[in-house]
Structure 1
Amino acid sequence: MPVCQRFSRAGLGGRWKCQFANDFDPLKVQVYAENWGKKEILEDDIHNVDAENLGRRVDLAWASFPCQDLSTAGNGLGLGQATGGDRTRSGTFWAFIDLMKELKASNRLPRIVVLENVVGLLSINGGEEFKAVIASLDRLGMRAGAVVVDARHFLPQSRQRVFIVGVSKTAKIAESLVREQPHPTWHPDPLVKAVGKLSGQCREHWMWLNLGAPPELKKTLNKIVKSRPVGVEWHTPAETKRLVGMMSEAHKQKLAEAKKSGKRMVGTLSLRMRPSSGKTLQRTEICFRGLAGCLRTPKGGGSRPRIIVVKGGSVRTRLLAPAEAAALMGLKARYQLPEIYEYAFRVIGDGVAVPVVSFLRGKLLTPLLRSIKKPRAGDVSKKHKRAARASVERSRRDQLELRV
């Protein structure tokens, strides 16, 4: 099972065996090797990966390609061109598709292909990038479906991602795994609109994948944030006072209400540039909804995740600790991360939430694979005939041996 994402392996669990993994970032390769071993991980640009590196045919290929050019906060460059040198960072998608083409040519195309990225993929450039992705799967002979899953159903972190699933157009899929109509949770309006813009052929083969009812979140940010964090220090009273002083009146009112509750209130604290009286000022904004914002790879001091803890008249602030960020991704405490703060968040920031992958595995991927591999009636009959012939042959060999 080729896997191009470190955390997806954790979510798939031990019953799925990884055959090949790839990343060009030395830090992320090192983290992968420390947690899973270095046997199957290849540190190289995916454009340099050859189909021969991938070994025998596998059940699942998972690709989490860079999101910078697809995010609404990015530059809008998209996937770039499928051919030639005009490819963006997110355009590593095309290198993955090239590998799938090579595998198909040698009759080794994986039974299931999963593509993961930010929800901006659905709408950026008028939906053209999403159309290109689905059309690429169509040219591989695959029908596609997609779901949008927010980690907030499993963890106290708001983290939406789109998961595109491709299977052979000739594969038999259990009726329980598809729906007649989109589900409001798993198929929100941006996805429905994006599907509506697909070509007629791609719409004809489209699957509304069935994940059932969404689970209820049982853990809040209050349980994740520790009083005695490891790897970070609480801000000094002077620094906390400075941050509070940068709040607008609306956010100061939120703080006052949190104090009045008398409970331990844990919230997020963000630094934002906001217009004010004809100027642009840096403001402190807080939120006590029990969820962390989407963890990202930090690009500067202002982008690092911060928290605020209020209990009665006490107000404390600090950076989010790496162990807390790991918990917000669903990683187990034993998962090895870099000790340097920035490095740890560089690994965490572009990962996929582990419980989301586990949910997809249980609700979709494993049942889908069983459905695809389930022999048809004619195949069962042939299998029984082969088994009967093999039994007769064994009996003959046994008789000959007894005669000797």
Structure 2
Amino acid sequence: MRTWCQTFYPANMKSNNLAKRTEYDVFNERLSLALCHRTKAEVSAILGVNPRTLRRWEVRQSRPEYHALDAYNRNLQRLLPFSQNENDSGSFRFIDLFAGIGGIRAAFEEIGGACVFTSEWDSYAQKTYAENWSNSHRIEGDITKIDVLDIPDHDVLLAGFPCQPFSIAGVSKKNALGRAHGFHDETQGTLFFDVCRIIEAKEPRAFLLENVKNLVSHDKGKTFSVIKRSLEDLGYNIYYRVIDGAHFVPQHRERIMIVGFREQVAFDFEAQSLPAKGQRTMKDILHKTDGSEPRLDHDGERFFDHKKNRVQPKYTLTDKLWEYLYNYAEKHRAKGNGFGYGLVYPDSVARTLSARYYKDGSEILVYQGARKNPRRLTPRECARLMGFPDSFRIPVSDTRAYKQFGNSVVVDVVRHVAKAMRPMLEVEVLQPELPLRRGTNT
């Protein structure tokens, strides 16, 4: 029988225990809970079935058609108090939108939050997310198709909404192809307004939105002006700052962090000072060839040969690829351009890791000596470069892993912002008398 997790994840996905329940198990559980809180007539009405049919389902004499289960489960979810389904063990509740592989979630769980809803459209990112995070809820897909009634109440909304329409590389590519970018991008740019749709309906106490630095200057500042005004019109006090990941990891990666609070609070990005850049260099994240590289059961020998104390040879560039990259760089250097590969050494701070790293790895190539071609970072090194601990599992192919880490946040940057937000998320701060909401006259 097709399992619940196979409906939402690839068939070869290794899921957590909760995801091994069948869709029928979810239905039976929610039906039992719904009947504890509502009458049979109310449940029958919301499902659109005869009370007799409902009774047969209740006592397991029959069951719904499989194709209708998803709709039934969603309708039953709406009948239940969310606390029956979600983890309330944290000091505040948050939702994780455009979740990727969970980089933003990691920081907010560390400060005491409980994730009660996750949305990520990419099935491979879902696989990595499910491998690393324990959920009492399933991972939802396309945010544009999610009804706000299916999203539980929460204190904090987190969203690293897609950055390609605003990134320097994304804008250049779309201009070259004659395609629109920013809010004129039909598929990605408008996803910001889905964030607004959810904020307007659920009115969380706070939110954190993350995007590329170029969001501030895109379209001569008009794009960010629209974003800021849209959030303020929803009744939020807005704070933002561009932070370079090089304060925490050996990688220049500038991202804008947008924080919003519905109440007037004393939030200040300067409440915690940023570490000086350059304190961490590539030697801190590269595999160690002196015999001290940790053995990770979930990695095995996939990235590093522990017997020979070396990175697996497949990550070293072929002669043909290295010759191409070298000649390409020389050609542009002769023209006075800065295009070309980025060679890193143990004491270096790398360029930005991009989602295209899987193609040739040119932005970050590890020097291996004068007589040996440089190599790509391994996916484990990419994980470290983004601030993920070695306990983070990488269940996808190298190509998918490079894309996922290239699209991720630097966990340490989000952790820094989360710690600055934490005092405003304490229970005594979350409970004061609320200001008047929009549209009220008293």
TM-score range, shorter chain: 0.5 to 0.7
Task: Give 1:152 shift.
Answer: 0.4
- How well do the aligned residues superpose, as a CA RMSD in angstroms? 3.2
Structure 1 pair 29–308 and aligned structure 2 pair: CA distance change class (3 A)? closer
Separation in 2, partners of 1:344, 1:59:
31
CA contact (8 A) 1:78 1:129 kept: no
Give the superposition deviation at 1:165: 0.8
Amino acid paired to 1:220? T
Instruction: Tell whether the 8 Å contact from 1:113 to 1:166 is kept in structure 2 after alignment.
Output: yes
1:69 aligns with 2:161: no
The 3-state SS of whatever aligns with 1:352 is coil
Aligned to 2:148: 51
Q: 1:98 aligns with which of 182, 192, 197?
A: 197
Unpaired stretches in structure 2, ≥5 consecutive residues: 1-93, 175-179, 290-302, 305-311, 435-442
Residue identity in the other structure for 1:17: A
Indicate which of 282, 285, 290 corresponds to 2:348.
290
Structure 1 contact 80–87 (Cα < 8 Å) conserved = yes
Q: Is the contact made by 2:119 and 2:143 (CA closer than 8 Å) also made in structure 1?
A: yes
Shift, 1:18, TM fit: 0.1
> Structure 1 residue 221 and structure 2 residue 311: aligned?
no
| Aligned residues of 2:285 and 2:385 also touching (Cα < 8 A) | yes
Distance 1:304 1:9, change over 3 A: farther
Q: What amino acid maps onto 2:274 in structure 1?
A: P
Shift of 1:284: 4.6
Please give the secondary structure, in 2, of the residue aligned with 1:246. Answer: helix
Residue 28 (str. 1) matches residue 125 (str. 2): yes
Q: Give the one of 424, 428, 433 matched to 1:368.
A: 424
What is the 5 A alignment of 1:165-176? Answer: 165-168=259-262, 171-174=263-266
Which residues of structure 1 form unaligned runs of 5+? Answer: 104-108, 179-208, 250-272, 380-404
- Tell me the CA shift for residue 50 of structure 1: 1.3
Contact 1:240 1:317 in 2 (8 A): no
- TM-score, structure 2 normalization: 0.62
Aligned residues of 2:182 and 2:218 also touching (Cα < 8 A): no
Would the aligned equivalents of 1:78 and 1:91 in 2 still touch at CA under 8 Å? no
Does 2:96 match 1:3?
Answer: yes
What does 1:154-303 align with in structure 2 at a 5 Å threshold?
154-168=248-262, 171-174=263-266, 177-178=267-268, 209-216=269-276, 217-226=278-287, 229-230=303-304, 233=314, 235=316, 238=319, 242=323, 246=327, 274=332, 276=334, 284-286=341-343, 288=345, 290-298=348-356, 301-303=359-361
Change (3 A) 1:130 1:245: closer
Give deviations 1:21-62, integer Å, cap 9, x for gaps: 101111111111111135334332111111122212x22101
For 1:303 and 1:244, the matched residues in 2 are separated by 10
Cα distance in 2 for partners of 1:147, 1:334 equals 30
Task: Classify the secondary structure of the residue corresponding to 1:73.
Answer: helix
Percent identical across equivalent pairs? Answer: 25
CA-CA distance at 1:139 after TM superposition: 1.3
State the 1:164 CA deviation.
0.6
Aligned partner of 2:246 among 113, 133, 152: 152
Query: Could you tell me which residue of structure 2 aligns to residue 89 of structure 1?
Result: 188
Check the 8 A contact 2:206/2:259 in 1, yes or no: yes
Distance change in 2, residues 1:135/1:327 (3 Å):
same
Contact 2:237 2:261 (8 Å CA) reproduced: yes
SS of corresponding position for 1:163: strand
Are 2:395 and 1:338 aligned? yes
1:220-251 deviations in Å (ceiling 9; x for gaps): 102322255536535378569736863867xx
Report deviation, 1:285: 4.9
1:141-186 residue CA offsets vs partner (Å, 9 max, x unmatched): 1110101111100000111100111112xx2423xx33xxxxxxxx
Letter of the structure 2 residue corresponding to residue 367 of structure 1: P
2:183 alignment partner AA: G
Indicate if the aligned counterparts of 1:78 and 1:125 stay in contact, CA closer than 8 A.
no
**Higher RCO (CA < 8 A, seq sep 6+):** 1
- Give yes or no for contact 2:167–2:213 (8 Å, CA) kept in 1: yes
Q: Which amino acid aligns with 1:338?
A: P
TM-score (structure 1 length as normaliser) = 0.67
Aligned partner of residue 348 in structure 2, secondary structure: coil
CA distance in 2, matches of 1:299, 1:141: 40
Q: Secondary structure of the equivalent of 1:74?
A: helix
Q: Write out per-residue CA displacement over residues 256-295 of structure 1, whole angstroms, 9 at most, x where no aligned residue.
A: xxxxxxxxxxxxxxxxx727579x9985553556112111
Q: Secondary structure at the match of 2:241?
A: strand
Q: Report how many aligned residue pairs link the two structures.
A: 308
Distance 1:13 1:304, change over 3 A: farther
**Matches of 1:142 and 1:248 in 2, distance apart?**
47
Q: Secondary structure at the match of 2:259?
A: strand
Give the residue type in structure 1 aligned to 2:219: N
Kept in 1: contact 2:340–2:362 (CA 8 A): no
With over 3 angstroms needed to count, the CA separation of the structure-2 counterparts of 1:71 and 1:89, relative to structure 1, is same
Secondary structure at the aligned position of 1:62 is classed as: strand
